[in-house]
């Protein structure tokens, strides 16, 4: 039976060198590794200083996972703990009292679930494309009470970036304004979700398969609205070589949106012309229905469409948030 050493032997440590497991993906240099894996966004200035300090340590773990692969997993675990730290400090900022305190009989427990609930009920989470806080709480609990060794490495990068955005949203000084501006548009899109739509602009029109409000940027005096729209496309000409390759999204970038019954209009930022999202006439609606019917008949293509849209839309939202939060650093 193998016996554990009583003391560490310094001969067991080797000079720092790249962990060979990263070579399973590509041959990285120190510089190319940082370019690939170090998050390109930071916490905004209004985030509590204690959270900033811990995040700096997490970024160093990510950077130095070049030398020890599992450091990346430790960084991912610490990011879930950082979310809880950010929430606790945010509660104290908002209420003037600490979250962790002895409760009286009949009061709600000061646990993580109730902290999520309080922040949600008081409007401190983003309303458009919100994070699934129940899932986030489960992930945090998994890392807080681990049973197994993790070695996901760079696979965790997307989730780390998402958690950075989540913390920034908690402290975003424009959050309630953005939520208030997005609510009527989201409600309009939901009300007419089952209706076929047309995107009309000065030089023509697109028949739409779907449209979503991606982001509202309130960093300027005149808020800017970004929509992810998905026009009809030629099914026969679509690139099927990769489930990630087809790009079918058309970005709509507006200011001053207005809802007028079954129409939503606004000013296109680049051209200054009016753009409208309209409910389609019956003949056009029938044409769009037939297109969807032909698409669903293609059993190889149709199951991939929701994934394509999810990937494109989520990447758009992530990119817009990164640019927005960069202005608030």
Each residue of 16-35: pLDDT tens digit? 889 999 999 999 999 999 99
Contact 209, 196 (CB under 8 A): no
Per-residue pLDDT at 148: 82
Domain boundaries, the chain: 10-171, 177-327
pLDDT digit string (tens) for 173-201? 999 999 999 999 999 999 999 999 999 99
What's the per-residue H, E or C state across the chain?
Answer: CCCCCCCCCHHHCCCCCCCHHHHHCCCCCHHHHHHHHCCCCCCCCCCCHHHHHHHHHHHHHHHHCCCCCCHHHHHHHHHHHHHHHHHHHHHHHHHCCCCCCCCCCCCCCCCHHHHHHHHHHCCCCCCCCCCCHHHHHHHHHHHHCCCCCCCCHHHHHHHHHHHHHHHHHHHCCCHHHHHHHHHHHHHHHHHCCCCCEEEEECCEEEEEEEEEEEEEECCCCCCEEEEEEEECCCHHHCCCCCCCCCCCCEEEEEEEEEEECCEEEEEECCCCCEEEEEECCHHHHHHHHHHHHHHHHCCCCHHHHHHHHHHHHHHHHHHHHHHHHHHCC
Per-residue pLDDT at 7: 59
User: Is residue 290 predicted with pLDDT exceeding 90?
Assistant: yes
User: Rounded to whole angstroms, how far apart are CA atoms 79 and 140?
Assistant: 9
Per-residue pLDDT at 228: 97
**Nearest to residue 232, comparing CAs of 253, 214, 205?**
205
Per-residue pLDDT at 8: 56
Instruction: Please compute the mean of the pLDDT values over residues 77-106 and round it to a whole number.
Output: 91
User: Is residue 2 predicted with pLDDT exceeding 60?
Assistant: no
Instruction: Please compute the mean of the pLDDT values over residues 242-264 and round it to a whole number.
Output: 87
Per-residue CA distances from 192 to 123, 138, 197, 227, 285 (Å): 25, 34, 9, 15, 13
How big is the chain by its Cα radius of gyration, in Å? 24
User: Is residue 1 predicted with pLDDT exceeding 50?
Assistant: no
Question: What phi and psi, each to the nearest 5 degrees, are found at residue 257?
Answer: -70, 145
Query: What is the average pLDDT score of the chain?
Result: 91
User: Is residue 304 predicted with pLDDT exceeding 50?
Assistant: yes
pLDDT digit string (tens) for 102-145? 777 777 888 999 999 999 999 999 999 999 999 999 999 988 88
**Nearest to residue 328, comparing CAs of 46, 7, 109?**
46
pLDDT digit string (tens) for 41-50? 999 999 999 9
Per-residue pLDDT at 150: 78
CA 182, 188, 190 angle in degrees (round to 5)?
Answer: 100
- Give 281 or 15, the one with higher predicted confidence: 281
Contact 281, 197 (CB under 8 A): no
Which 3 state secondary structure label does DSSP give 228?
Answer: strand
Per-residue pLDDT at 5: 59
């Amino acid at each position: 039976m193998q016996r554990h050493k009583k003391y560490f032997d310094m001969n067991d440590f080797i000079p720092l060198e790249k962990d060979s497991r990263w070579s399973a993906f590509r041959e990285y240099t120190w510089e190319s590794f940082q370019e690939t894996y170090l998050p390109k966004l930071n916490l905004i200035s209004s985030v509590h200083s204690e959270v900033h300090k811990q995040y700096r340590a997490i970024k160093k773990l990510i950077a130095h996972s070049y030398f020890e692969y599992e450091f990346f997993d430790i960084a991912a675990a610490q990011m879930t703990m950082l979310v809880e730290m950010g929430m606790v400090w945010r509660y104290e900022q908002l209420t003037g009292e600490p979250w962790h305190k002895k409760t009286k009989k009949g009061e709600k427990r000061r646990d993580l679930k109730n902290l999520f609930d309080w922040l949600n009920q008081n409007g401190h989470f983003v309303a458009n494309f919100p994070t699934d806080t129940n899932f986030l709480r489960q992930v945090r609990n998994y890392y807080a009470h681990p049973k197994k060794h993790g070695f996901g490495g760079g696979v965790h990068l997307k989730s780390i970036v998402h958690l950075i955005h989540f913390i920034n949203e908690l402290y975003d000084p424009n959050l309630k304004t953005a939520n208030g501006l997005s609510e009527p548009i989201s409600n309009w899109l939901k009300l007419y979700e089952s209706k076929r739509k047309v995107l009309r602009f000065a030089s023509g029109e697109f028949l739409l398969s779907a449209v979503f409000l991606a982001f509202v940027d309130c960093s300027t005096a005149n808020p800017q609205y970004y929509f992810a729209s998905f026009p009809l496309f030629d099914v026969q000409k679509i690139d099927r070589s990769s489930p990630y390759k087809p790009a079918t999204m058309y970005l709509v970038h507006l200011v001053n949106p207005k809802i007028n019954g079954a129409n939503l209009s606004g000013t296109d930022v680049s051209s200054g012309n009016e753009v409208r999202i309209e409910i389609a006439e019956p003949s056009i609606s029938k044409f769009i229905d037939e297109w969807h019917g032909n698409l669903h008949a293609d059993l190889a293509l149709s199951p991939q469409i929701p994934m394509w849209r999810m990937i494109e839309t989520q990447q758009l939202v992530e990119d817009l948030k990164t640019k927005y939060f960069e202005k608030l650093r």
